[in-house]
Amino acid sequence: MPLPQLVKNGEIDISILRKEYLKAVEDSKGIDFLLHTLKKVNSQNGLVVAYQACLETLKAKSLWNPLEKLALAKQSQDTFARAVALNPHHLEIRFLRYSIQLSLPSYLYLSNHLEEDKQVILSLLQKKDFQDIDKESLQIITDFLLRQGQLQASEKEIVQKLSL
């Protein structure tokens, strides 16, 4: 994908970033390009920073050297911390960190925000505080939570009550 599509007037186009990230999850070929682009733009948008953290984690998974893998996984958690600090009550930021930390092996001790993020996500869903999340992304979030989110029965009810 050419750089001008993802970057418009010096800003990252979130809708394109979402689509390209989903492609990178399935096929790692785009990870380096997306990471390079996000670092070059150096956005102060918490959501863009959260996607950068996700991409760092995906890149870490593809590395062969265990020390490099761990270093990049730790870096991604620092990047997530920055994203949350920029916008602590953004559903998609919290979801991205939650979904990534849920997938990390527990022996890495990098999944220390799971309960906090889950509670913030559930609270925002109850309030229907979706900010700038499109319907498709919201559906991905709710589907993930119901399938893999490690929710209690009462928490599942909160997610299921959403009329999407």
The pLDDT tens digits for 26-37 are: 988 889 999 999
Separation between Cα atoms, residue 152 and residue 130, nearest integer Å? 22
Separation between Cα atoms, residue 68 and residue 75, nearest integer Å? 10
pTM (2 d.p.)? 0.92
Give the residue among 5, 74, 11 at the shortest CA–CA distance from 45.
11
Is pLDDT at 151 greater than 70 in this prediction? yes
Query: How does the average pLDDT of the chain come out, rounded?
Result: 92
Helix residue spans in 11-148 (DSSP H): 14-26, 31-41, 46-62, 66-86, 91-103, 114-127, 135-148
Decide if 42 contacts 32 (C-beta within 8 A): no
Q: Which CATH number fits domain 3-160: 3.40.50, 1.25.40, 1.10.150, 1.10.8?
A: 1.25.40
